[in-house]
Structure 1
Amino acid sequence: MVSYSPLTAELKAIIADGLSPDSSIVDRGNLVEYSSDASTLSYLPELVVLAGNTDDIKSLIELANRYNFPVTPRGGGSGLAGGCLPSRGGVVLSTMGLDRIERIDTGNFIMKVGAGVISLKVREAAEAAGLFYPPDPAGMDQSTIGGNGATDAGGHPA
């Protein structure tokens, strides 16, 4: 099993310095909100980063590699598998701030969206553009497109 470094006050400051003003950090009192999902599992993170852009995610992952701390990505927290829970401690990386639908290309059937876009919003945007988004994960009004991809959630196969 891999051994990780704990997040010291100095390391938390380094993480904060590496983030843009678009991102923020949750520390201490509000960590419980990020310690569980829809399952019965619970693991308290040492720190939560609310990513505001992909550059902040890149910076956080580079710091994690340099300082040897775990990063657990988290979308809407609606999963039942515990995949968004920090079982090894470290940082929970919330992608909920990456909630923009950037582009819909109807000619190529492509939609470029942030990982934090709610799945139902993807379906509604596709429909408004004359397209159909067929996946139907449970909790479509809560689950994010990033979480669906990370956990292979898409509803019952046909």
Structure 2
Amino acid sequence: MYKQDEQAYHQLNKFVGTWNTAALIPSSDNNPEVKIKGTDRYEWITDGFFLLHTADVMIGTDNSKTHEIIGYDKLNHHYTMQYYNNKGNSGLMIAKLDDGLWTFSGDDLRFKGGFNENEDVFSGVWEQFTANKIWTHLMDIKLSKKH
């Protein structure tokens, strides 16, 4: 394995563990604010080459469950994030890390954020691509590692 690839897998290791998740979708137009609360868990699978990310959160009164496989694409030097949820939806996002800033990009969602100094909080901002073809703030999110 190349040194660059080793470093890429090392960065994923920071996610491993169980996290308390809290987010807030602010009110807009006629929609009230929506609180998100739950648990995210990351664990190595397939001999440490992929992460299984399991999310179980309440979005307001709606329970959302997602399974995601995260891997490193050595050819393109980015991470892939294939997800499946309990609403029958699936999709692919691409993740990159640049100077401590993580970006996740999908067709209509994107995220920017990172870890705190102790690597026990991962937080950032999600944006959504609207029908008006502009990126707008969707929510602030914070994952706090359980100790």
TM-score normalised by structure 2 residue count: 0.24
Structure that is richer in strand per residue = 2
TM-score normalised by structure 1 residue count: 0.23
